[in-house]
Amino acid sequence: KCAQPKRWKAYDGKITEMDTQYTLRAQELFEIYRSISMNDIPEDERIDVLLTVRRTVKEHQCKLTQEIVELIEREIDLIFRDVKECNLEGLRKRICTLFLQYIKTPKFNPEVARMLKVPPDPLKLYKNVNFCHSCENYLPSTEFPVPANSRTIGRCRLCWKLDNEAQQREAFLKYKLMLENLRKSEADYQDDAKIVFLVQHQDLQYMIENIWGCQSALSACSDLYDLVMVRWDKHHEWSPWNTILLTRDEADAHLKLHNLQEAYEAAFIHRIKHKHTRAKKYFAQFRAMASFLHRSDNWATAN
């Protein structure tokens, strides 16, 4: 069953078959097992089969594979000593049994994990082996990175790596450029701005995506390469609760305003203040921002 290709029926009724890396692995093991189970074959062919089995199991180092290798070497030695086949029957059966156990181990044959309703050794599985819900493989617990604040087992290291490689890097570059431009503009004010140098591009990404919706507050433009974050009130240093996301032209015009209350409608100002409140709640969890939040609250109360 493990060696059978994946099959599904298309809308026109035709059956499509596809081999995966796991079914191909199962096919390979199946052919080897069928060869090693055959009787009455010439000695040279038997030795070739034994060497194939040894080469296959030596890909993994464990007690089971070591035992299989030792039995194979023992049989090869007895064949060279011209021992009769009837005296090798018990040894060959043990090699077949151990190789079958090798095939039934998900670590060596991942496709068999779908067939095993009860693991061969439940206690060992519960303690040392976990199931990855992403690749659906049973893997040692050492293959699962578990953060200190996590209570569950997530994806295995390979799935994390594949997911990381599959992520689009273009977006990260955009946010890094936006943060660099923001820091340059804040340095030009020469008013000892500090908060902008505490914020990382991941924080900026969260603000733009979750608070500002990846679009200009005025024109709803969504081209990240044309968007910039500038001070909402230019008389106070930039912070997540004193900012606005605009296009470059809009930002230039915004920074020339002298009175925000006269330039913008009350509804628009209320909407911006609401976004600032959301930003405060998000950054309140960071200890480094606590003193700046307290200072901004005092400034807001004074105004």
- Asked, for residue 143, whether it belongs to a domain, the answer is no
Mean pLDDT by 10 residues, the chain (303 residues): 84 84 89 88 89 90 90 90 85 91 88 70 61 80 71 78 65 81 87 83 88 90 87 89 92 91 91 91 77 60 49
In terms of domains, do 182 and 258 share one? yes
- Asked, for residue 157, whether it belongs to a domain, the answer is no
- Asked, for residue 145, whether it belongs to a domain, the answer is no
Confidence at residue 205, expressed as pLDDT on a 0 to 100 scale: 87
- Asked, for residue 12, whether it belongs to a domain, the answer is yes
Last residue of a domain, one of 86, 115, 144: 115
Q: What is the DSSP string of the chain?
A: -TTSPEEEE-TTS-EEEE--HHHHHHHHHHHHHHHHT--S--HHHHHHHHHHHHHHHTTS-SHHHHHHHHHHHHHHHHHHTT--GGGTHHHHHHHHHHHHHHHT-TTT-GGGGGT-SS-SSHHHHHHHEEEETTTTEEEEGGGS---TT--S----HHHHHHHHHHS-SHHHHHHHHHHHHHHHHHHHH-S---HHHH--HHHHHHIIIIISTTS-TTT----GGGEEEEESSTTS--BTTBEEEEEHHHHHHHHT-S-HHHHS-HHHHHHHHHHHHHHHHHHTT-GGGHHHHHHHHHHHHH-
In terms of domains, do 189 and 93 share one? no
Confidence at residue 151, expressed as pLDDT on a 0 to 100 scale: 67
In terms of domains, do 264 and 171 share one? yes
Phi, psi of 14 (to 5 degrees): -80, 145
pLDDT 10s digits, 95-138: 999 999 998 888 888 888 877 765 555 555 556 777 787 888 87
- Asked, for residue 136, whether it belongs to a domain, the answer is no
- Asked, for residue 17, whether it belongs to a domain, the answer is yes
In terms of domains, do 193 and 278 share one? yes
Q: Position of tokens 């606005």?
A: 244
**pTM: predicted TM-score of the whole model, two decimal places:** 0.44
In terms of domains, do 173 and 111 share one? no
Domain coverage including residue 188: 167-299
In terms of domains, do 295 and 174 share one? yes
Q: How many domains, in total, are found in the chain? A: 2
Confidence at residue 147, expressed as pLDDT on a 0 to 100 scale: 66
- Asked, for residue 228, whether it belongs to a domain, the answer is yes
pLDDT 10s digits, 126-172: 567 777 878 888 777 778 877 666 667 778 888 888 876 666 555 57
- Asked, for residue 134, whether it belongs to a domain, the answer is no
In terms of domains, do 73 and 176 share one? no
